[in-house]
Structure 1
Amino acid sequence: MSEQLQPGVTIFNSALEAGVRSLVILTANFPATLDLQRLVDSDYLVVHSGDVNGPESIHPPVPLRQGELLIRRKIIESGLTLMLSRGLINRIVSSEGITYQASDYAKPFVDSLTTPYIHLLVERARWAVETFGNMDSKEFQNLISSFFDKWTTQFHGLGKK
């Protein structure tokens, strides 16, 4: 029996996809918590790991991909809301702000997912934690800013003849 696709329903760049990626990232970072910006930046590094001399990127190296950092935040917020509603992520509110942490259900859930894409996400998330997990916020933000600077340079180069 062939699978019927519903018109207007997309999985790519959806809250579901971003939520699962965030869940994988938080699981790899457990028990640490991450704020929204660190999650957004980590999400970029996990799927574009080749941009920082890491393993081959999971997503293709499309031109101007650094611009994804500008649109990724809203999608990830929606994904976090979805994962929160399923009890897979905890939101922690403190005097320092809002952070997110994988719940006790996160690892068993992630471990139950068996697609090649998920396996690559788990590998890249572990690599990102090993490579960048000990960076303080300022050092990590400087790394991400270097991508934004590169994107700005690429964008300005498009207008030149």
Structure 2
Amino acid sequence: MDLFDNFDPVWIWLAAGLALAALEMVVPGVYLIWLAAAAIITGALAFVLDLGVLFQVINFVFLALIMVYSAKRWLRDRPIESSDPLLNNRGGRMVGETAVVVAPIDGGEGRVKFGDSEWIARGPDCGAGTRVRITAAKGPILAVEPITAGANSDASSGTLTET
């Protein structure tokens, strides 16, 4: 006597679908929900059509492939937009901000202070204490340009301190 002889396959598919849906909430990513939906639909079809186990497995595989492929295309064509696209991009957040030169930029390279950190800076030559605007960031290197006397040095200078 087999352990699964007493279980109706419909309930096994529904339980597997609910388990996969619950696991989707724990595991990062958006892929288990499609397998969960395929399992639940397979369970519903097995209930209505009284399919054999082999056909249920084949149905599940095809439904899972169709759903995952469709979801992939849907999400590729309609990407999820972030409310803060620069959330994990520290360099991108610095672009447009002002910094203070702490080691003179000589020969195109020096050091600037932004916030509480010093960064390697590349840009036109300028002396220590000069306020510069960050134009780009690539890794630990900031591209800067001096702020001219007529330029608007806005409230972002409040985050910078000269030491």
User: What TM-score do you get using the length of structure 2 for normalisation?
Assistant: 0.24
Which structure features the higher share of strand residues? 2
Quick check: which one's helix share is greater?
Answer: 1
Larger radius of gyration between Structure 1 and Structure 2: 2
Q: Higher relative CO (CA 8 A, sep ≥ 6), structure 1 or 2?
A: 1
